[in-house]
Amino acid sequence: AQSVTQLGSHVSVSEGALVLLRCNYSSSVPPYLFWYVQYPNQGLQLLLKYTSAATLVKGINGFEAEFKKSETSFHLTKPSAHMSDAAEYFCAVSPPGGGADGLTFGKGTHLIIQP
Amino acid sequence: KAGVTQTPRYLIKTRGQQVTLSCSPISGHRSVSWYQQTPGQGLQFLFEYFSETQRNKGNFPGRFSGRQFSNSRSEMNVSTLELGDSALYLCASSLASGAGSTEAFFGQGTRLTVV
């Protein structure tokens, strides 16, 4: 069985500061990993995904994440926070190949940007 | 290219009633998955349909059911509604299920309130 743990239900950073959202996974085999963002009253938008290619993955809006097998982590970073980054962020895992068993999501991290 | 369309966006139902939610996937996508999102439980996988067949189901009671039509549109039904069924129901479409499907595109969701 897979699981995802997101450390910190709320993270607050100043505008222009580094954003670091933490995600650790548990899986018997190296999984596929995803980060999604959700704005209020909206669905989920894919930021980036890891599918066993390059361990450093670049996504949209300046976000990137690094897959570290030894640490079972897939932390999301952005060098400089913008006010528009304020949202809920979800880390998710699926079996290699994705699909049928659905995505297993973490509880989410609410990112707050201080002016 | 149109995204994933969920209707209706908002719904209010009374306990004991039943409800049907609709999801139209991205053109060409054959896999539709459903998720329930609540503040307490987060995002939970309900089921996935591919080529009109349910491929997998999450840990939800039999009151939750679904189906997929030949044009890949999907409906989700919840019978005998309970207060705890109040949630945002999200639909996601993918090109394929299992191997080869690594990215799910989400709709904006249907906000169901049970009173």
Closest by CA position to A98, among listed B92, B99, B35: B99
Closest by CA position to B109, among listed A89, A46, A45, A43:
A43
For residue B89, list its beta bridge partners: B36, B110
**Over residues B76-93, mean pLDDT:** 96
Q: Which of helix, strand or coil describes residue B52?
A: coil
Kindly determine whether residue A102 and residue B33, on different chains, have CB atoms separated by under 8 Å: yes
Higher-confidence residue: B95 or A47? Answer: A47
Ranges A34-38, B33-37, B53-57, B70-74: which has the least confidence: B53-57
Nearest CA among B12, B2, B3 for reference residue B114: B12
B98 to chain A, minimum CA–CA distance in Å?
4
pLDDT of residue B12: 98
Percent above pLDDT 90 for chain B: 78
Task: Give the CA distances from residue A32 to residues A52, B100, B108, in Å, rounded to whole numbers and listed in that order.
Answer: 7, 12, 23
Rounded to an integer, what distance in angstroms lies between the CA atom of residue B71 and that of residue B111? 24
Nearest to A100 among B6, B35, B97 (CB): B97
Cβ-proximal residues to A53 (8 Å cutoff; 6+ apart), any chain: none
Give residue B100's pLDDT: 44
Nearest beta carbon to residue B42 from set A43, A94, A105: A105
Quote the CA–CA distance of B94 and A79 in Å, as a whole number: 31
B76 close to B20: Cβ distance less than 8 angstroms: yes
Across the interface, of B42, B50, B97, the residue whose CB is closest to A108 is: B42
**pLDDT tens digit string along A42-84?**
889 999 998 877 889 999 999 999 999 899 999 999 999 999 9
Task: Name chain A contacts of B35, Cβ cutoff 8 Å.
Answer: 102-103, 105
- A106 to chain B, any CB pair closer than 8 A? The answer is yes
C-alpha radius of gyration, chain A, whole number: 13
